[in-house]
Amino acid sequence: MLCETEGIVLKKTDVYNNTRLLTLFTKGYGKLSCSTTLPEKGKKKGSMAARPFSYGTYHIFKSRNSCYVNGFDSKKNFFKISEDIDKYACGAYALEFTDKMLQDGEPCIEQFNLLVDYLTMLERREKNYRSLLIGYMIKTLQKSGVAPVISECVQCGCKKSDKWLFLIKSGGIICENCNSSNNHGDTLIYDINFDIINIIKYILQNPLQVMAKLSIKSEPEEYIFDILKKYCSYHLEIDSMKSENLWIVERR
C-alpha cells in the first residue's frame, strides 16, 4: 500500500551501504519504523528525508511487516536548532522523549502538532531553552493522560496546606498532614513551594504557545526538570536518555 503523510524523523540508524532505518513520527499513522535508501547528501528532492528534525510529507510503501520511504517533500528541517549546543540538546531530548512516549502505529495528531509547535518555538528561541523543554514534557504527559496531580493532595483531596510535597510514587502533591501521618521515609519525595506549583499549573492550564517567551528561573527550572525525570522513570520507565549526555559535554 502506498501512502502519503506528514512526518518528523525522531531517530536515524545507518545499517549497511546506503540503507538507513528511521524512527518516523507520522501524523496519519503514528510512530513507524521505516527503511530508506534515499540519498542523504546533495540537493536532490529526498536528500533531507532521513535526517533527525526533518519535517515534511513522506511517501511510504507499507506492507504487513515493513515500511519503506521512497519519496519526501520537505516542509521544514529545523536544522538551525543544531547551531547552538544547548538548543540542540533540548531538541534532541524532546525527540528521544517523544520516541519513548509513543506506541508503534498509534496515530496521535495532537502530539504530532505539539512537537511541530515545540520545534518551531525552539528554533526561534534565543535563550532559556530548557524552560520550553519542561513545558513540552508536561504538555506531553497531559495529552497522554499521565500528568502529575498538582491541584490537590493525591491522598486526601485537600486543596490547602501550609506545606506541600511532591511524592513521585503517588503521582503528585501531598499535603503536610498526609506526609506526617504516613511517615514515608521515601527518597522520591520533594519539598515543593507555591512558585513551583504555580509554574506547573500554568503550563497545564495553557497551550504550549504561552511558553514561547516565558522562562523559568534557573533554580526552580532545575528542580522541576529533576522531578519530571524521576516521575517519568518511575511511572513510565523512561530513563537513560542518551541526549542528556549533550549537556554533560557542554559543561566540560
pTM attached to this predicted model: 0.92
Q: Which span out of 25-29, 45-49, 175-179 was modeled with the highest average pLDDT?
A: 25-29
Cα–Cα distances in angstroms (integers) from residue 195 to residues 49, 138, 145, 168, 199, in the given order: 43, 16, 24, 18, 6
pLDDT of residue 251: 44
pLDDT of residue 3 exceeding 80, the answer is yes
What would the pLDDT profile of 165-218 be if each residue is shown by its tens digit? 999 999 999 998 888 766 556 778 899 988 999 999 999 999 999 988 888 998
Cα–Cα distances in angstroms (integers) from residue 207 to residues 56, 132, 136, in the given order: 24, 12, 10
pLDDT of residue 7: 95
